[in-house]
Amino acid sequence: MLHPAVKPGPGQSERSADARLQEAIGLAQAIGLEIVGTDIAPLDRPNPATFVGGGVVERLSAQAEETEADLVVFDCMLSPGQQRNLERALNRKVIDRTGLILEIFGARARTKEGRLQVDLAALTYQRSRLVRSWTHLERQRSGGAFMGGPGERQIELDRRMLDEKIIRLKKDLEQVKRTRGLHRSARQKVPYPVVALVGYTNAGKSTLFNTLTRADVMAEDMLFATLDPTMRRLELASGETIILSDTVGFITDLPVHLVAAFRATLEEVISADVIVHVRDVSDPEHEEQKASVDAIMQDLGLGPGEAGERPVIEVFNKIDLLEPEARAALQAQCARDDHLVAVSALKGEGLPDLLEAVRQGLQRDHEVLELEVDAADGKTLAWLYQHGQVLDREEGDGHTWLRVSLSPIERARFDRLPIQQGEMGPSVSVEH
Ligand SMILES: Nc1nc2c(ncn2[C@@H]2O[C@H](COP(=O)(O)OP(=O)(O)OP(=O)(O)O)[C@@H](O)[C@H]2O)c(=O)[nH]1
């Protein structure tokens, strides 16, 4: 595994080379690669032929021979020519960061759309690339030899087939998207607010999701344990039901081929009512990771000041790994700000505070209605308990008096309920 540390250009992030190398190692291990050697090669600008300089290629070649490596991973984006030249010089398979992330997406995609997006990204990448590319499509997801992929002639023959496959995939994808649109609008009829977990890869989203919902979602010490959003029902202490949605981990410098596949997984975030941003505060790079996540949220139009701005709760996760002083400092910070919560998803600490913050986030645009309902009107009462939060209730003479908090959507629905039109319907006064 080689990380070429190119000097960052203007506007590029300055994360340390070592942290980037560690992240790449994590990505490689996530698909079961055994790392036998690592190296960082500082360089001013990429070499057009081999990305790194001749001296580094020689050093790598010797190291690869010595460790009998099957594969050399370059944690950067290589042009097809560079990849080919490096394979020749090193006499073994070479993949770059895009190839690596494609592998992970391929291994992790769970929904049909996620898989199609990944296949499409892989094919497009392969189409632009060399001949014996190493992708999950060739390995047919079962693992296998890195060497000895199809020969040049075969790929030449396959090029047209690839184009046909790409066209077919795009059609399938359109179809799946249409169906998903239907699913989504069906879900919008379900009167539960959606809370989406977002965060940098390995922040602990799946663990938190699991602990909160006790669902059987993969949580492993791997990057990208999730590609497609997973949704589960969750009941808050106040009795309200919400839908919690887990999303794929964010990552810096996502290769451009993969943006669509990545975005496809974020649809649920775009339609969420509250966003929970999970952060691994035990990671020395957590500030940089937060900046990457914020930048992606901004891109999606969900950031502060954007049209899609919505309540964001920031979760400081993995506090169990902090020294007592650091932990106390974070907890003090959280005590001052309702949008910050310190938790340990693994140990289940701080979760009631988190759920309370979620509840408050959901209440942001709520209206409180005062109602007098005919005591015999069980239907209206049941509806209110199911869709709103009953804050107060008193029984009067043939009437039940209630104070109920409703979201704007539920408020609109309530106004359309047929029960309101009867003469005995509830009387409403609004309190914001
Ligand atoms: N010590 C500690 N470890 C945690 C905590 N939460 C998560 N982890 C560990 O962190 C690792 C990553 O957790 P995941 O839940 O898979 O992270 P994720 O954010 O879903 O990761 P991606 O799917 O890659 O985005 C796992 O090894 C978890 O056991 C925590 O509160 N404390």
Please work out whether the CB of residue 207 comes within 6 Å of at least one atom of ligand 1: yes
CB-ligand 1 contact for 226 (6 Å cutoff): yes
| Strands ordered across the beta sheet of 71-74 | 39-43, 2-6, 71-74, 93-96
User: pLDDT confidence of 376, banded at 50, 70, 90?
Assistant: confident
Q: Is the CB of 204 under 6 A from ligand 1?
A: yes
Mean pLDDT for the stretch of residues 7-13: 67
Average pLDDT across the chain, whole number: 79
Radius of gyration of the chain measured on its C-alpha atoms:
26
- Percent of the chain scoring above 90 in pLDDT: 28
Which pLDDT tens digit goes with each residue over 170-195?
888 888 777 766 555 555 555 678 89
**How close is the Cα of 94 to the center of ligand 1, in Å?**
30
Q: Give yes or no for residue 223 having a pLDDT over 50.
A: no
Say what the pLDDT of residue 181 is. Answer: 63
Q: Which atom of ligand 1 is nearest to the CA of 223?
A: 24
Of the segments 256-265, 275-284, 304-313, 403-412, which one has the largest average pLDDT value?
Answer: 275-284
Q: Convert the pLDDT of each residue in 96-118 to its tens digit.
A: 988 888 877 776 666 677 778 77
> What are 17-41's pLDDT values in tens digits?
888 898 889 888 877 889 999 999 9
Chain centroid to Cα 345, Å, comes to 17
Does the CB atom of residue 350 touch ligand 1 within 6 A? Answer: no
Q: What is the pLDDT of residue 133?
A: 44
Report CA-CA distances (Å) from 13 to 20, 242, 291, 293, 430.
Answer: 11, 36, 10, 13, 49
Strand pairing of 399-406 and 71-74? unpaired
298 CA → ligand 1 middle, Å: 24
pLDDT in tens, 56-86: 999 999 999 999 999 999 999 898 889 989 9
Structural domains in the chain plus CATH codes: 2-96 (3.40.50.11060), 109-189 (no CATH), 191-363 (3.40.50.300), 367-431 (3.30.70.240)
Confidence at residue 317, expressed as pLDDT on a 0 to 100 scale: 97
More confident residue, 429 or 7: 7
Compute how many other C-beta atoms are within 10 angstroms of the C-beta atom of residue 68.
8
pLDDT at residue 265 is higher than 70: no
**Percentage, residues of the chain above pLDDT 70:** 77
CA distance 292 to 298: 10
Give the DSSP letter string of 371-399.
EEEETT-HHHHHHHHHHSEEEEEEE-SSE
List the end-to-end C-alpha distance of the chain, in Å, as a whole number. Answer: 58
pLDDT at 331 over 80: yes
Residues present in the chain in total: 432
CB 213 within 8 A of CB 345: no
Per-residue pLDDT, averaged over 279-292, amounts to: 91
Q: Output the residue whose Cα is nearest ligand 1's atom 11.
A: 221
| pLDDT tens per residue across span 131-144 | 444 444 444 434 44
What's the pLDDT score for residue 320? Answer: 97
Instruction: Report residue 292's pLDDT band, with 50, 70 and 90 as the boundaries.
Output: confident
Question: Quick one: pLDDT band at residue 7, thresholds 50, 70, 90?
Answer: confident
Which atom, in ligand 1's list, is nearest to the CA of 343? 31
Please count the CA atoms within 13 angstroms of the CA of 309 that sit on its side-chain side: 7
pLDDT at 100: 85
